[in-house]
Amino acid sequence: MDASNRPAPEDGEPAPREAVGPADPSAPAEPTNQAEPAEPAAPEPAADPQPPAGQEPTPTGEAEPPRATPAAPSDPEPAPAMPAPPTAPAPVASTAPTEPAVGPAPSYPYPADQALVPGYSLSYGAPTSFDPVWQGVAPYVGQAPPAPPKPAKSTLAAVLLNLTGLGLGYAYLRHRILFGVALAVVAGLVVVAFATGAAEQPWLWRGLAAGWILLLVLHASLIARRRPAPPSTWRPVTVGTVSVAVVVAGYVGYGIAGGSVHDDGVAAQTRADCPAAIDRFDTVTGPFELTLSTDVPDAAARRAECAQYLEGVDAQRRDQHAVAIHQYRQFGADHPKSVLAPFARTNLAESYVDLATGWQAPLTAQTARETVDTLLMVTREFGDTPAAKRVPKGIADAFAAAAEPYTAGKFCDSLLSLEYFAGLDRASVGEVVDTANTYRAQALYECGLIQARAGDAAATATLDTYLTAYPQHPGFAQAKAAQISATVAKAAGVTLAVPPPLGDNNPGSIPVEFYNDSNTPLTLQVAGPTAHEFTLPPCAICPADYPENAGCGDLTGRPSITLRLTAAPYYYTTVRDDDVNSLVSSVTPMPGYIHTQCVYVVRP
């Protein structure tokens, strides 16, 4: 170094210290066989060269030309020697680049009262790129610096934040990845819960939620315990407490809202307002699925009831009464205790009446029967419904339609319908029964006569029915005569005119005697210009039967009846209730003669 131009110290003053500066950075580096360290090691401080006699060191370290100085005093006191600077640690070879380590401020190993010379500095070790002034010895040269200390966090705050189930404690602990994973898990659980119908297995999902929250709490506690405790925890703990309260209050409010929507749906269902009820129940089973309340499965069941009920309502509105009846009956079987059951029953009765009264004219006998049967069933099974009040009018309308053939003079065509209405219980249908019987009696009479005049074999049955059902009818005598004539004509295989009303056995003057040669009474029907029916008493002395052509050999003691007939052909036949073949014969009375006819039973 060059000597400074500072004046020489006077006697008693300490000599100026020598400045130890860094090596010239422009000097070439020495070759070495070792791997180059991440940061070059500080060179050993070189001893400052002593300036030539008569020169003083300068701050720049360059020697100035000699200049004249005053003579020094004789035998000056030598300056105290400076202590040796601390030796920097030897560099360690490393293949990985490292950041330069900055150590703590150095402690100088010289007395505190030994001040530096003004304008000079003292440095040891390697220089830094950011501070040319001494920063102390680098203790980590060639080594990775230790991680900076983690920020202090409250364990209770982390636990409370994770108690929300959302992983907020991880965000507080600055674990972004764990926070993201926690949110992803929560989102996945929510999606799966909605997709699988969590409310159907509420305790399973409550257990999963509790397990997840417990895992978050324990993990947050484990991580937070590794952090130093902050001097004050009231703020994060308050935030955690408020977060838990918000989540709990939100879930409670979520459940209350779901319950309110469910109650609205039940109220609508109670009014049979199923469209509104279904809307509410869909909301409960949708957005409010995660309440895990019993309202969710109840809403699903009630929605199914409403959907099935509406199927019947829609069919009824489309006048598909048979379909509606099927739907309502099925609903009653599937949901007998539903709040909709009374409405379904009422609608079922209405559908039955609508179906029964929806016939088209002309009303056939079969349709009339089905109509009235259905209406009477409504009276019996749904007598307490409004539809039952429509039954009497429905029956009256059906009878009027069924009797139209009668009023049109088509007596035979009206018989089936009139027979049905006439046979109904008067207590159930009222005056319709009386009217039906009046119409039926006349219809049977007129139809029987028409058939008899036409030689229709069905006349016998028609007139028999009439005579049996209505013996008090004014046309009884005429109908009886027609019935006898039809029966005899059928047995004899002939066609006979309908005789006048049945009278006594003396319409003419020619006697015709009929004897019974059998021990059983025999009923005879005689038909010709007139009709007659009489019963011969049994013969006490006669056998039960004879071989063919063997009876009536002796008429003594045989019971007999005499008819006085006109001179015209008459046919007669026996009427029996058993399976014995009837006797069929004829007689043509002639004036001046007594005609004798003997009948007996032929042995089979």
CB atoms within 10 A of CB 500: 14
- How many domains are there within the chain? 4
Q: What are the beta bridge partners of residue 571?
A: 527, 586
- The owner of tokens 């009276």 is 379
Domain that holds residue 191: 155-231
CA distance 474 to 471: 8
Report angle CA 65, 67, 69 to the nearest 5 degrees: 145
Q: Per the domain annotation, does 362 fall within a domain?
A: no
Q: What is the per-residue pLDDT for 151? A: 74
Average pLDDT over residues 376-391: 95
Evaluate whether residue 268 is within a structural domain: yes
Confidence band of 229 (pLDDT split at 50, 70, 90)? confident
HEC assignment per residue over 273-284 = CHHHHHHHHHHH
Q: 274, 268 in Cβ contact below 8 A? A: yes
- With pLDDT > 90 as the criterion, what percentage of the chain qualifies? 60
Q: What is the pLDDT of residue 63?
A: 43
Cα four-point dihedral sign 98, 102, 104, 107? positive
Q: Which of 553, 569, 552, 564 is nearest to 515 (CA)?
A: 552
C-alpha closest to that of 280 among 292, 263, 294, 293: 263
| Amino acid letter for position 96 | A
Q: Are strands 584-587 and 531-536 parallel, antiparallel or unpaired?
A: unpaired
7/140 same-domain check: yes
Q: Are residues 208 and 307 in the same domain?
A: no
The owner of tokens 């764990």 is: 178
Out of 176, 205, 231, a domain closes at 231
Residue 289, domain member (yes or no): yes
DSSP secondary structure letters along 145-210? PPPPPPPP--HHHHHHHHHTSS-HHHHHTT-HHHHHHHHHHHHHHHHHHHHHTGGGSHHHHHHHHH
For residues 175-192, b (16+ Cβ closer than 10 Å) or e, as one string? beebbeebeebbeebeee
Verdict on whether the full-model pTM lies above 0.75:
no
Residues whose CB is less than 8 angstroms from the CB of residue 82 and which lie 6 or more positions away in sequence, other chains included: 17, 18, 110
Give the pLDDT confidence score for residue 85 in this predicted structure: 52
Alpha-carbon gap, residue 474 to 480, rounded angstroms: 11
Q: Is residue 102 situated within a structural domain?
A: yes
- Whether residues 216 and 285 fall in one domain: no
**Residue 337 belongs to some domain of the structure:** yes
**pLDDT at residue 58, as a whole number:** 46
Residues 98 and 171 in one domain: no
Residues 6 and 65 reside in one and the same domain: yes
Same domain assignment for residues 255 and 332:
yes
pLDDT at 133 over 90: no
pLDDT in tens, 450-493: 999 998 989 999 999 999 999 999 999 999 999 999 999 999 99
Q: Within this chain, do residues 109 and 208 fall inside the same structural domain, yes or no?
A: no
Contact 569, 588 (CB under 8 A): yes
Q: Are 500 and 530 in contact (CB under 8 A)?
A: yes
334 neighbors 318 (Cβ within 8 angstroms): no
Both 198 and 257 in one domain: the answer is no
Confidence band, pLDDT 50/70/90 cuts, at residue 33 = very low
- Mean pLDDT of the chain, nearest integer: 81
Residue 515 covered by a domain: yes
Same domain flag for 22 and 90 = yes
pLDDT band at 5; cut points 50, 70, 90: very low
pLDDT single digits (tens) 258-284: 999 999 999 999 999 999 999 999 999
Give the strand order in the sheet containing 595-599.
560-565, 510-516, 595-599
Q: What is the mean pLDDT of residues 102-107?
A: 49
Whether residue 163 sits in one domain with residue 140:
no
Q: What is the pLDDT of residue 163?
A: 92
Distances 457 to 461, 495, 498, 530, 532 between C-alpha atoms, Å = 8, 10, 13, 19, 19
Please choose, from the candidates 400, 385, 310, the residue with its C-alpha nearest in 3D space to the C-alpha of residue 354.
385
What is the mean pLDDT of the segment spanning 184-205? 92
In a domain, 240, yes or no: no
Q: Judge contact between 331 and 340, C-beta under 8 A.
A: yes
Picking from 144, 163, 187, the residue at the C-terminal end of a domain is 144
- Supply the pLDDT for residue 578: 64
Residue 13 located in a structural domain = yes
pLDDT at 84: 52
Question: 387-425 pLDDT, tens per residue?
Answer: 999 999 999 999 999 999 999 999 999 999 999 999 999
Where a domain ends, among 301, 326, 356? 356
Report pLDDT for 197.
Answer: 86
Tens digits of per-residue pLDDT, 61-91? 444 444 444 444 444 445 445 555 555 454 4
pLDDT on residue 269: 95
Query: How far, in Å, CA of 88 to CA of 470, rounded?
Result: 145
Give how far Cα 584 sits from Cα of 171, 496, 516, 553, 601, Å: 120, 15, 14, 19, 12
- Please tell me the predicted confidence (pLDDT) of residue 154: 87
Query: In whole angstroms, what is the distance from residue 346 CA to residue 353 CA?
Result: 11
Contact 41, 91 (CB under 8 A): yes
Question: For residue 580, what pLDDT is reported?
Answer: 59
Cis peptide before 538 (omega within 30 of 0): no
| 3-state secondary structure string across 518-533 | CCCCEEEEEECCCEEE
Are residue 214 and residue 263 in the same domain, yes or no? Answer: no
Residue 144, classed as helix, strand or coil, is: coil
Same domain (yes/no): 18, 128: yes
